[in-house]
Every structure is written in structure tokens, then in C-alpha cells.
Structure 1
């Protein structure tokens, strides 16, 4: 066996997770005012720009960038030459500027303009000074932002008017990033309340990453003021924990909840214990643990109710006997917050009960929340409370089989969201729910499609996805309305379905492909993009280190948090500088990182005879298979439900996972999957020559080449079976946007053919145990990984067949994690790993997936023998193919995405395709398939064709090799390099991007 442990795919957030509650209302500070961004026209590239005020100055944001394109500062008034000298001195540490040139701005105001070069990368920039409106002004930034900066100065000086206000959601990310920089950089504790309010608003808009940024900075500010471990740091700590839980980062959330729990008992906020129980209940709901969630929510309600006004007791309100109160009864903020807490607890309970199928109880809880909200006047954030309560009531009505009532509730909810958080994720999701209820209620197609289009437009504007369950009714409505012929409606359905395919992997591939494409045009631009990515990772690492140091400091130990705050401030500045350099070097980069690919973009990169097949399969009901080929879209209904497909996939995998062919092949299941997916689109696929597949759900865990495309002779057994791989090569991509991005990146420009790593030496038990001192079992598992008998042979044969140089391989003792990091791997078109893979799920001491290298002799532990996914992010590649000849490197049965953490990191490092496995592979079979694939590639075949021919060779020409457990484990992820006959067409497609 190639590996003792599998590398898992990262799971997406569960589609049915309960939405989080609104945060506790924090008095003082108004993010609504602070977050107002105004439109100020376009920059020199025609991108729309917004201005966000900052103290006496402002920041200008253009296009899709969330880092400022320019900054404006107010300074004491002085003649332009004096202002220029002052600005030049102030900027000397960041950039070198030429002598100032006199000019005028804003219709005649005296000014001086300097053209500059940044010290980092030498990218051009500007520095502008002027005296206007009785004040001096300095501006600097990306050269293209100069006209926008001039207009911003005019607005600040009262000499010009903005062109309109921007939606609040469009400003949240920019504001959170800016306030975080100011909080860490200037130790400005006055920002605390503003950060807390912004965090609450971002959470209510379900922008959890932005909320995390705000709360993390607020926690840091409060800890500097009160000290780590102070009871009142409980507030931002608890809210930060919930944002991490909402993103599926449950271990990180658990650590923060554990830190917050002892603080709650000593916090000055009387509702601290209620909030702790409430948010823990939501965290348990996010983890799909209904019983502890309901218990925690019950505890929270009792604690909130103790602070409610007389006459609004929990029992009375819950029974529907609450009496309307005078508005003065809720003037007291603590009472108002307690009422909001009870309303939200009941609403959250309804959602948990509904997810458990306890529909009558869910309806009762939702009704109880609605009654209490209705009889308690003067609640803060009344519109959003009403919107959430109505949405929960609508969901309960839908589950109870009352679609007309559900549609009315969702309509009311959407209207309230449109008032409180317009063009936000909650608004879009509610429109999707309303569309689903409208379908069930028999509403006309025009009304259904109108709501769907509103939701899709908002999600695409926000660059956010949604669940397959949520978008399914709209995909159905669009595809059915198309009638199989309306190409415009089919294109809408195809693009709407992609909103359920967005993932970390898709985004990473898009970013890497955009960087590779820029590198082809301008290597310096690619270097700027990589520097920006590295700056972002450094900042994230510093935040994690600060969390750990702060926790240690709260226990009276640990390194100085203040030093980490200083490093974070420097890293924030470095990230802003790197972002501005990227804006200059690669102005279209942000626009290239798209999560949805329009049908024309897919057609532009498809090669002759090539078809893209995208499967959309929600967990309930039947989905759709979309086929794009020769400029036309076809759509066919999938013949089974999501649950039925899962069962078929499990049957198929169970017959393959031993890797040795000892179980009868589930030919019937393989044919049923093929028929369900492709029966409705057989015509456009009839003479296709190559298939690009976008799987969904459990389909991610199987290579499509193993599907059976004709009725098999028997339900089990592989003899006489017609496999899809025998008819055509098959490649897999995580999303249509990934296919477009990777194909547009063009082929590798590396000069050398191949580099290999593998056959690691076993880790000594003593080193392994010191690596995991708190868990002896982890050390024993690591030390127990066997030597790989054929890995060395696989690498030597592959290198020879690829025409590699003798020294371009690291085997045995030479294969170490430092050796991988130090190798100039961007010089190689193929990078090959033949080793063990480890995953956190089976080696629980690991925090992330890793591949195993040889240990360093005499080292204190075996840390250098683990090449983690995080480490691979720092490796720089320009590879057509990376071979991960390790078991289950494609994700296996647990696939929630198409790739493991390792594979995702390798894509981000600069791979265009990956050769991965879907189950434990037989060593001899793996060696032959990989080596022949490399030979075929070297002889001019495309990677998909090279793999296919190697797999078929094993099946047809090697005695005992015909069982698909032996030849079908390998799959190609990414389109891969094309054969020589198609390279000219592929190059033309890449140039069109």
C-alpha cells in the first residue's frame, strides 16, 4: 500500500447550519455612519472609485480592490512647495519621488505633483499636495488613482460633491480592514466601539470574515487597555468565537469559547452568562449537535428572561399571554437587550427544531418569538429583528406544508432586510427562500424568475456562494423555463448552479491561475502578486500567534503580546504596500479572481471535440447535468435524487477501496450513476473526444473514468464491462471558473522537464514521540509508517522517461522538508511526489494535512519530516502537472471539495493540474501507471490522454490488472497540458483571456 493514512478533502460549511444571531447591542459608536462610502467617479482605468473618510482625511478604493488605491491626509495649510517638501520627506521610507512639478487642481487651486517609485518592486506611484479650502492636503497612491484622489480632496475641502452613496455592505470590508490597521498601528482605543459596532453589522449581513477582522482588532485593543485575561475582554472574545464557528473553524472557536467561559462569570455585563450560553448553543448548532444546542439555548433563555421587564416573563410570552407595554418599559438598555436575547433564542430554537424534523415544535417556537417581538416596542434594530423572525416563521411554515403562508413570511422578511441590510447575503438568501415557496404555491413563472434573478445578482455582486439546497429551486425554474432550447435561460441556469460550487479551492485556483497568466505577460507582476499573498499569510500567522500568546498571558505566562502587536502593525502596512504594488503591476488581477464563469468564457477555452459537463445535485430532489460544447448549452435532469446518488457512490467505492481488486466490481452501480447523469444529455456527448467534469457532492469522491457507459453483463464483476475511460479521456475540475482560469493561464514556461521527491526513510520512534509529547499514539502511528518498496523505482523510471537530469531527484535521506522548500521548483514542468500522506482525521495530533519526508538525523523531533499544506503554500511552482502518488490524495469518500488540503496548496503554489488518487493504491500498479503516464506525456500526448493510455495499458496488457480497483484510482484534476496537436488551439484560447 502506498500510504497508511489518507489525506482528506476539506468539507464545505454544512448547508443546513443555523444562521447566527444578531450580536448583543453595544452602546456608543455608529458603524452605520462610519461605514458610509461615497462614489467619486472613475480612476484613469475607468474603474469606479469610492471614498471612505478617515479622521480628517480619507482612503480611496477603486474597482474590486479592498485595499486603498490612494490615501488623503489633512495637514496645516502652507504653500505648495513647502507641502511638497514635507510630503517627500514623509514618504522617503516607502518610495523615492522626483522633484515636484507645479500644477493646479480643482479648477485652479495651486498644487505640486511628484512621480514616485516604490522601494518595494520599483512600481510607479504619485504624491500630490495642494492647499484647498483653507487646509493643506497630501495624497499618494497608485498612479491610476490620481484623478480620483483629486476629486476626494475636493469633497473633503468642500469644493466638490460626491456622486452618490455606496451600499453599506460594499463598504464593510474596506472599513474593517482600515480600522484593524489603525487599531494595531496607532493603539487608538477610541476605535474599539466602532470596531464592535462594525462587527455586529457585518455579522448581521452574514459577512463573517469581515466580522472576524473587526472583532479580532477590537479584542486586541481592549486587551491592551485592560490586560489579557481581564473579565471584560469577554465581549469581543465571545463574538470572535462565533464568527469562527460560523466559518466552520470549530477548533479555533472552541479554544476561544474555553477562554471566554471563566471571564463571563466575572464580566461587568449582567448578560455575559446568557450570551455565553446563547452563542455556545449556536456553535453546537453549527456543529450539527442538536441536543447540546437546545440545552444551551434553554439555559440562555432563562438567564435573559431574568433581566426582562415585569410583565414580559418567559412563560407568559411563550404562552401567548404577554401584554403590550408602554414604550418607557424598554428604554432601559439592559432590559431591551434581554428581550432581544429571548426573541433570538426562540428563533434559533425554531431553526434547530426544524432541522431535526420537529416541525410542530419549530412552529411554536417561531410563533413565540414573533409574539414577543410584536408586543415589546422600542427594540433596537427592530427592522432586522422582524426580518429574521419572519424568515424563521416562513421556514417553519414551509416545513409544515403551507407554501402560501411561507411565501408571505419570506416576502415580509425580504422587505425588512432590504430596509436594514440592502443587497446583503441575508436579503439574497431570503429571496431564494421566497422563490422556493412561490414555486410550491404555484406562482407564475415570471414572479419566480424575478426573485431568483434578484438573489443571483446580489450574490454575484458580493462574490459569495450559497448552498445547493438554497439555489436548487431557482436552477429548476430557469432550466424548466428554457425548455431545452432557450440558450439565454440555460446560460442563467448554468451560472446560478455555480453559486453552489464556490469554495476555498476554487478561489485559490483562480488566484494562482491569474498569477500564472500575469507571469506570462510580465514576470515582475507575478512577483508582486506573490508578495501580496505572502504578506497576507504572514499577517494571518501573526494573528494566530497573538491568540496563543494572549491566552498564555491570561494565565500569567507567555511571550509579550505587545511585541506581536508591533509586528502585526508592520505586517498590516506591508500588506497595504504589497496590495498597492499589485494594483499597479497587475490592475486586472482582482477582476480575474471570479467564482462564476459565464458560458461564453467556457466556450472560449474549450478545444475542438471537448465538452464540459457540470453536475448540479442538491441533497434533496433531482438536479441537472449541464453540457457545454461547440457554443451551445444542453441540460438534462439527473435521474436520481441526491440521497440515491450518495448510496450508489458508496456501493461503487466499497467495491474499489481495497486497491487490490479482491472484491467484485459494482458494475451495476457504476452504470446507474452514468445513466442518471448522462441519459438526458446523450446527444451532445455522443461524439465528444474529451470530457472535462465538474462533479458535485459525493460524486467528488470517484474518478468518472470508472463509470460504465453501457448496460453491464452482470450487476457485479468487471469482465466485459464498457468503461467511460475506454471511450474518451476524462479530467476533473472543481468548478467551471477553475477550468477557465487554468486554461487561460497557458502552459508552463519552465525550462526543465521533471523533478521528483519520495521514498522517505522511516521516522524513529523516539523522534516521533517527541514530535507529539502529549499523545503517544500519534508518535507510534508516525513511526509505524512502512518503507515504500517501489517508490524509488517509480521516481527513477519516471525521471528517465521524462528526460530529467540525474540530479533532479531527492530520494530517501535526501528527501526532507527543507530540501523541498530550497529547490527551485518553478524551473520544472512536472513535480512528482511518491510518499505517504497523512490527515488530521486519522493522525489527530496534526492540525493540517501533510506528506511525509525523511527525518533529520539527530534532530530533537520529526517536525522536519512533515511537509504540511501550509508549508506548501510558500513553495513556488510553474508546473503543468504535480503528481501526488500518495493514497487518497484526491479526497476519498469524505470529499466535500474535490481536493485535499495538500492538493489545494499545491494548486495555489502554481500547478495547473494534479494527478491524484481516490483510494489506497497498489504499489506495483501505481509505479507502472505513473511511469507510463510520464512517458506518454514526454512523447507529446496531453496529460489526460497520457494517464488514460497508461491506465488502459495496465487493464488490458498486465495479467491480473483488469480490475478497476487497480487502474482507476488515479484521476486528473485540472485540464492539464494538451497534446502537441492541440497546443496551438490551447495557446489561442489562453490568449483570448
Structure 2
């Protein structure tokens, strides 16, 4: 609130002259950064007032200025509408007999649309959260930025709704933050929500900025043609705002004439630079060079020259110069950009992008040593950024890998080569990979036996992060709805809960860091160092992980004595196409199984492992950390050699050469190898088989809605499409007999209900075997996440805990201590399509059981046939029953080998669906690692 007094006029003058509204308006614009409209005459508290309706330039919040004359002169009071009674009191009104309700009605009548009486605290909360989001974004810590933007939007939308400049500006920032995290579905949903509002804005700048955001999001998504169209649209709009066109700009550029400066010129310059960067992606370096050169000229000609924007433009100019073969000029531009940014922000996240671009330019010129130095500097800075920062993406590291491999090839010293490879391995670990999950790593750490307090703290943190993730999903669903469909009270409640849960997670992380410094790596974003990983491997083992880019990829094969990093001549789209083709041969059509493409299976093996076939031939156990399209295909179905016949029995399957384990992540593998369960659970076996899905449906209340409910409670109608699975009872009984265990618990028919998982004794079982339907999103009515179907309830469920479907999020919240969980159902290793596209190494139900505490898992990748599955499981568990020291992945390998040797089950459809998930040395009955 401000008050202005003016005693320069006489009382007579003051009583006859009109109030100087124009002077007040100019004063508020200059000093309070507010734009004010027409004045309204009021009679209030015994005074004749004039009220000016204003808007803050900074955040578009409504403000009000009250003007009056009294004996002291001109009186002006300025503040938020909620402070109207106080503002009137300051300039002399008698407000003692005026109610706040009357004040609210009067203020509301000043604006054509309702104006909330927001508090200073509300405004401060939005401002502080938005500022924190921008600071986090500068550090490329987009997860934190998303949390802060959600908090700001909760207050903003509650007070002002969607149709407000600040709301749409916040939404655009959130759309970008989500796109940087590669959550493009949510990002585009927000653009669809905000776009129509911005299209109706009277400000041309708003529409220009929207086009720029759309260009950046499309570029992050890899659709550079669409991005180029949006970028050009944004530039054209800024040209219209500045009153220039591209022909005039080019004439000015080449003739060095002055152009008329406008406040929008820096925005035009930045838009041109963005357009140039995208043109480089579509291989048009000449046009890109012209655009970014114009951008620099426009910025130099503007009244305002943001130095950080100059650094951005110089960096793009360096890349464009390199692309057209001007290496010396490129180096000079990069040095200027780096020097300027360092002077402004130090060695922060922005420096990472410039150094990566400089490294790419050097690598393009085959100046590999210089490229490695630039990449090394970028990676050093990136490692200091907060956990989860999206500092380096996969495609940005591929030129680094090419430079390293070229340098290594020229080295004669094996130690020097190992040093370079180690450096490249470390760089790969900080690359942003969508789906890389902190909870997975924490779940593996929770199994530590040395310190029960540590295990409890980790469990609490894991559950807090899960709750936070679930709330984020619910907030996103509400946030993306149009205003007419959104429940504002629910959105406010969810956002408040999310804020509280975020604080709780941060507190638990701080406790873990403070009380257990040996687990400091969980405050970092990269995996354990290479020496720790190598020491966790045996001499006949190897761990394979993949860096999958859009156009090219790399394999990291780590062994006890060395590391191999080799290029893969296929990007994400190529690998997806091959995997999709192989998966078609594992489906049933017309009542029979399709032919499996043996040649393509060998092609994929050669593509992935051809360069390391010799060292791989010495491996007896392969641990695979898959991601992207590779997460949907069991590696045992790959062929190590070209098929010589159509007989599946003769094919050189990879699983016949080695046992194969799928690890959720490198961190989880190291944790599983370095921790031991405190003690074996007391009960040997829990089996769930053939739940009863049929039965009379309970009567629905007259007012019950048959549609999907927001709480996620399963509808009774979901069970109608599920067939009974009588063979699964014999399957589970056969496994119990093969294991030779006493005291096994088996629940089937109506006893195979959801309460079995919630009776408090689940963590007492050593082996949990689930043989029922796994249901994917969309397969049954209202199913929004993967789940398993259990016995149909006899009454209408009042909560998710009793509705007969155990969803993935419910599984993750369970407490499990089993050495092995078997999910003998269809597609238990697979999540929704969006999950797979995000690159999860382990997704769906399998991930949830691992998070819940299962030390190892046996999961499926497609529909499994009952008879063949029963035979496979009998052979596997018979081997374990006969040799309790036998590792589970080895037992699976042997059982799959027997299936391959049988002409009736040699097709991989019958044996290949099952994958073992763990670290590779787990056994069912003992806790010690075995070979």
C-alpha cells in the first residue's frame, strides 16, 4: 500500500478542480508498475472518492487506487482489492460502521468479472513459488520446478480461474517443464487447455510466446519439422509486433543500417535464435546461419540487450558456423558465449549446454581431443547439479562417445583405454533416461540387513515418494481438465496434500543423508562408480546396459576385468520396429501361434552384441538392464548365430548359452549384490490360483452411477469378461510338490481374495506365487493402471482395498520380504504403452512387487499358455527342489532348455515369456549368493 499527499494547491482550488487522475496513473505506472484504467466515482465512509481499477505489470493481479482530497491535500492509497476498507481508512473515510461484506460487494462491482479478495499472503505464495520454479529450471531441476509451479497454480486458479494472464503464463511454464521431463502427453494436454485462452488474448505478445513454447516442446519431442513451423510462426508474430519484416531485416543486416528499436526486439532476437537451432536439426545450416546472424543484429540494435540472451544467441551462432564449415569462427563464438555466461552465472546449468555444443562442433571436425575436453568440462558441472536435473540427454552424449572411441582406437596402452572408457561410462550414468526411478533404487537398498533403522528409514522414504507420485498423477488429471469440468475444491485439497508430501520426502532424504552418509550416492543422480560395479561381478558374468538415442545407440558391457562400449547402428525407432516385428511372432492369431522370425532375432542380437561376441562367448550369466523398446522383449529369445533351419530346436538361442537376469537398474543390481536379508521369512510358500470371478452381482443402490469413479474402485462389471483359470490350481500344487515344502498356503476360488494381501502376514512368506489374470489399462472397464484380478467381492466395494482388483499402486504400498515372487499371468512385466515409451527398465506389476520388497521376480511378457507354463514351472522348481543352492535364473535357464528340446514347446511362445528379475545370484531357500 502507498499513500501520496499533495498540499501545493489552495483549499479553494482543491474544492473546484477535478482530481488529477492522469498524474496518479502515471505515478503508479512509474513507481508501482501498474496499469490503471478509467476512474469510478464512489461515496464511501463520508467521503467522495475516485477508484482506479489497476493491474500489476509483473503478475497481472488486480489492484485498486483510491483518490480523495482533504485538508492535507491530494490523498492516494493503493493496494490490493482485499485491502479496500483499510485503504479508504488511510485517506480519511469512516469505516467503523461499514461491513466487510459491503466492501466486498462494492469492489466486486468495479470489475466486469468477479475479482477475488485475495490476500497479500496469497500473492506472495504465488510469487515465491513461481520464482523458486524458475530458479530450479535454471538448474535444469525440472522435478522441483514442477512441484513449485503446481503450488503456484493451486492458489492462482483458485482465485482467478483459467481465463487470466498469470494463469496461462504459469501453465505454459508448466508445459515446458513437463516436456523437458519428456512427459509429452501431459505437456500437450496443458497446451490444449491454455491455447484457446491465449488465442483470445488482446495481447499479440501472448500468442507469439505460445507459438515459441509449442516450437520448443515439439523440438524436445523430436518432431523438428513441426517445431520448425511453430518457430517460424513465432518469429513472424514477433516481426509484426516490432513492425519489421524479414526483407527489411536482411537489408538492415547487410547494409549495417540502424533499425528502429522497440521493446519487443529482444524477444524477436531470441525467437530467431530458436528458429535457427531447430533449422540445424532439420539439416538446413545455411538458413540457420542467416537466422541467428539476424538474431544477433536485432539484439544489438535493441534498447534492451539482456546479456544472458546474447550468450544464448552466440552459442547458436557457434553451432551454425560449425555446421557450415567455419570452424575457427565457431570456436570464437563459443568462447565469447562461454565467457559471457560464466561472468553472469558462473559454471551453472547453462554452461553445460554451451560446452556440450562446443564439444559437438569439435567432434564434427574430428578434433576428438578438444571435443573430449569440452565434454569433460560439461559433465563435471552436470554432476554438481541437483539429483534429477535434466542436464545431459542421451543424444547429446553420442558425439562424446564417438570422440572417445576414436581416441581409444589410436591408443596402445590398455590402461589408457580403460581410463577413457571409464570416463565415458561415468558420463552415461548422468544422461537423462525417462523412467529412471529413485524408488526402484531405494527398494533394493531397503533389503540391507546390517541396520534395521536404515531399512525402516528407506522404507518410509520409499512410501513417501510413492504417495507423492500418486498425488502428482491426481493433480495432473485435475489440472488438465477444462475449468468447467474441474473440481476446484478437490484440486486445492490434492495440491495441499502434494505440497505436504513433498516436504515429507525432502525431510526423509535429509535424514538419510545425515544419519547414513555411507549412502550419500542416493543424493546424487548417477550410478555407482565403475570399480564398484566391476567388483560386484564374478569372472564369468557380464552386465549389459544401453544408451538409446533417436538415431544411434551404445552398448555398455561391463565385466570383472574390463568394460566394452560399442556403437549400435540403430536408434529408438529402428529398435522399436525390430522388437515389434519379433513380438508379432509371439502372438496367437486364428487359434494358432505365428511364426517367429529367427533371422530378425539374430539380426537384433548382432545389432546389439555383434561387436562383443568374443568376450560374450566366455560369459555364463548375463545381467541385462534394458530400457526403451528393449524392455519389452526377453533377451533369451535372441539368436547368437544365423539359423540353419526352421526347426526351433536347432536354433542357437542365447538362453542355451547363458543364464539371463533382467536388473531394474545398475544401482539396484549393486545394492542387491551387496546386501543380504536379515533373515529368511518364516512361512515357505503363499499361492494364489483360480480366483472366483463369477457369481451374482450385488444389487446397486438406486442412485449408484455405473460409470468410472474418480477413486479408482473397481466396478463389479469388470469381472464379467474374465474367464476362470482352473488349470492354475494344478500348476501351483505341482510347484509346491516340486519344491518339497511343508506348510504351504494356497488360496483359490472365493478364498483367493484381496484380503489375503492385506492381512498383515504377507511379509512372512519366502515365496509368493500368483497365478491369475493380469489386467492392463483399457482391457476392462475403467482400468487405469496394471493390476491383478482376485475373487469377485460379494458386496459393493466401498474402497480400493476390497474391490477385488489389486492395482500396481496398491501392490507398491504392500510390505513383502519374499526371496521370490512369481507372477504367472499375462504381461506382468509390461506396463501401459506410455510407460514403455518412457523407457522403464522394469514396468507395470513387476516394478510394483519389486518396490514392495520382493528380492527377485519371475514375470511374463505376453499371454502364457496354461499347459506349457505348468510344465515349465514344474521343471524349474523341480531343479530347485533337488538343489536348494541352485540360483533361480539358472533353474529357469534349464527349464527353458528342456522346453526348447521338446518339439511341441520349442517355439519361444511356450517358453520365452518368462524373465527373471534380480541380480542373478538369488536362490529361493538360502540367502547366500551362489554361482
TM-score scaled by length of structure 1: 0.69
Structure with max Cα Rg = 2
For residues 693-717 of structure 1, what are the alpha-carbon distances to aligned partners after superposition, in whole Å with 9 as ceiling and x for unaligned?
Answer: 3345544333222232344324x44
2-side partners of 1:819 and 1:359: how far apart?
63
* Shift in alpha-carbon separation, 1:305–1:964, aligned structure 2, 3 A: same
2:858 counterpart of 1:928? no
Q: Which one of the candidate residues 426, 431, 436 is aligned to 2:355?
A: 431
Match of 1:522 in 2: 451
Q: CA deviation at 1:350?
A: 3.9
Match of 2:811 in 1: 872
Provide the secondary structure at the position in 2 that maps to 1:888: coil
Q: CA deviation at 1:969?
A: 2.0
Residue pairs, 1:133-532, within 5 angstroms: 187=121, 189-223=123-157, 226=160, 232-261=166-195, 263-264=197-198, 271-288=205-222, 293=227, 296-297=230-231, 300-308=234-242, 312=244, 316-317=248-249, 321=253, 329=261, 335=263, 338-356=264-282, 361-380=287-306, 382-383=307-308, 385-396=309-320, 409-410=333-334, 412-443=336-367, 445-462=368-385, 463=387, 464=389, 466-483=392-409, 485-486=414-415, 487-500=418-431, 502-517=433-448, 520-532=449-461
| 8 Å contact from structure 2 (residues 259, 301) kept in 1 | no
For residues 459-496 of structure 1, what are the alpha-carbon distances to aligned partners after superposition, in whole Å with 9 as ceiling and x for unaligned?
Answer: 33334563332212222333443348232222223333
Structure 2 unaligned spans of 5+: 1-55, 60-117
Provide the secondary structure at the position in 2 that maps to 1:190: helix
Q: CA deviation at 1:304?
A: 4.1
Q: CA deviation at 1:971?
A: 1.5
* Shift in alpha-carbon separation, 1:490–1:247, aligned structure 2, 3 A: closer
Q: Which one of the candidate residues 748, 762, 773 is aligned to 1:836?
A: 773
Residue pairs, 1:612-761, within 5 angstroms: 612-616=543-547, 618-621=549-552, 623-629=554-560, 631-635=561-565, 648-658=578-588, 662-695=593-626, 697-714=628-645, 716-747=646-677, 749=679, 750-761=681-692
Q: CA deviation at 1:225?
A: 5.6
Q: CA deviation at 1:885?
A: 2.5
* Shift in alpha-carbon separation, 1:791–1:641, aligned structure 2, 3 A: same
Match of 2:919 in 1: 975
| 8 Å contact from structure 1 (residues 403, 440) kept in 2 | no
Q: CA deviation at 1:945?
A: 0.5
2:532 counterpart of 1:601? yes
* Shift in alpha-carbon separation, 1:501–1:348, aligned structure 2, 3 A: closer
Q: CA deviation at 1:934?
A: 3.5
For residues 200-229 of structure 1, what are the alpha-carbon distances to aligned partners after superposition, in whole Å with 9 as ceiling and x for unaligned?
Answer: 343344322122122222223435665676
2-side partners of 1:787 and 1:355: how far apart?
54
Q: Which one of the candidate residues 774, 782, 785 is aligned to 1:848?
A: 785
Q: CA deviation at 1:599?
A: 1.9
* Shift in alpha-carbon separation, 1:549–1:622, aligned structure 2, 3 A: closer
| 8 Å contact from structure 1 (residues 542, 568) kept in 2 | yes
Provide the secondary structure at the position in 1 that maps to 2:916: strand
| 8 Å contact from structure 2 (residues 258, 301) kept in 1 | no
* Shift in alpha-carbon separation, 1:211–1:362, aligned structure 2, 3 A: same
| 8 Å contact from structure 2 (residues 435, 841) kept in 1 | no
TM-score scaled by length of structure 2: 0.74
Q: CA deviation at 1:627?
A: 3.5
Relative contact order: is structure 1 or structure 2 higher (C-alpha 8 Å, sep ≥ 6)?
1
Match of 2:849 in 1: 906
For residues 871-915 of structure 1, what are the alpha-carbon distances to aligned partners after superposition, in whole Å with 9 as ceiling and x for unaligned?
Answer: 222112223332233333334995633222332232222233322
Match of 2:898 in 1: 953
Q: CA deviation at 1:948?
A: 0.7
2-side partners of 1:638 and 1:297: how far apart?
32
Provide the secondary structure at the position in 2 that maps to 1:532: helix
Q: Which one of the candidate residues 801, 822, 840 is aligned to 1:897?
A: 840
* Shift in alpha-carbon separation, 1:258–1:804, aligned structure 2, 3 A: farther
Root-mean-square deviation (Å):
4.4
* Shift in alpha-carbon separation, 1:250–1:636, aligned structure 2, 3 A: closer
* Shift in alpha-carbon separation, 1:320–1:847, aligned structure 2, 3 A: farther
For residues 177-215 of structure 1, what are the alpha-carbon distances to aligned partners after superposition, in whole Å with 9 as ceiling and x for unaligned?
Answer: xxxxxxx99956324334323323433443221221222
- Tell me the number of residue pairs that the alignment of Structure 1 and Structure 2 aligns: 790
Match of 2:41 in 1: none
1-side partners of 2:656 and 2:233: how far apart?
61
* Shift in alpha-carbon separation, 1:252–1:691, aligned structure 2, 3 A: closer
